[in-house]
Amino acid sequence: MGQDIHFTYFTFAPQSYNPSLIGGYAGTYRASAIIRDQYSNRGSARVDGYQTIEANIDAPIIKGFRDRDWIGAGISFNRDERGFYRLTDNTSRLGLAYHIGLNKKQTAYFSVGAQFVRVGRSIESMTNGSVHNITNPGSMDPDLVSLLGGNGNNSPEANFSDWIAGVSYTSKSKRGNLKLGLSASQFLRNSVGLNSKSR
C-alpha cells in the first residue's frame, strides 16, 4: 500500500515531479526511462491493471547571467494506462530551469523551473458498451463519471494543456546530498473529456 500505482523510482523520471530538476547536474546530457507493468492482462481475462512508461532527456545547455549559474532544458514523454476500461493519458512535457549557484564550486544551488504540458486522454470502447454507457451516472467507476458527467460541459476537450512550475534547493557535501523542493500544476482551467479507442 505504500507504493505508488504508477512507479516508485522517481530518480529515473525527475521531470515528472519537479521541473526545477531539469539540467540540475554536472554533465553533458542525461537520458533515462522507466516502465512499470502491474496487475495487467493475463490471457483473455480483463483486470484492473496499470502500465506506465516514462522516458526523458535533459541537459545543462548554457551559462546563466553569472558564471556560477546555468540553464537546463528537457523534454519527456509519459504513457499511463490504467483500470478495466484502459483509461489512458499520453503526456508530453517541454521545460526549462534556471539554476542559481550559491558557491563557486556549485555544490549548493537554488533552482526554478517551468514546463509546458500537453495531455491526450482516451478510453477503450468495448463491444458491449460505449463511452456514454461507461460514464453514465450508474457507472461503477466514479472517476469516469466525473470526467464526462460532472463537468457541466457537453463538449469537453479530450486533449488539454497545462503549465507546471517548481522550485528546489540542492546541497552536496561529503556527508551526502540534500534536496528540498516544491512543484505545482493545473494553472490552466480545463474541461476534460475522453477520446474513444477501439480494442
What was the pLDDT predicted at 158?
Answer: 74
In 10 A of CB 76, how many CB atoms? 24
Q: Please, what is the end-to-end C-alpha distance for the chain in angstroms?
A: 31
Q: Is residue 37, in this structure, part of any structural domain at all?
A: yes
- Averaged pLDDT for residues 65-83: 92
Q: Is residue 159, in this structure, part of any structural domain at all?
A: yes
Number of domains, the chain: 1
Task: Give the domain range for residue 37.
Answer: 10-198
Q: Is residue 2, in this structure, part of any structural domain at all?
A: no
The SS3 assignment for 20 reads helix
Q: Is residue 5, in this structure, part of any structural domain at all?
A: no
Q: Is residue 3, in this structure, part of any structural domain at all?
A: no
What was the pLDDT predicted at 57?
Answer: 96
What was the pLDDT predicted at 49?
Answer: 74
- Averaged pLDDT for residues 147-166: 68
Q: Could you tell me which of 170, 171, 184, 178 has the C-alpha nearest to residue 21? A: 170
Q: Is residue 145, in this structure, part of any structural domain at all?
A: yes
Q: Is residue 150, in this structure, part of any structural domain at all?
A: yes
Q: Is residue 4, in this structure, part of any structural domain at all?
A: no
Write down the mean pLDDT value for the chain: 80
Name the more confident of 31 and 157: 31
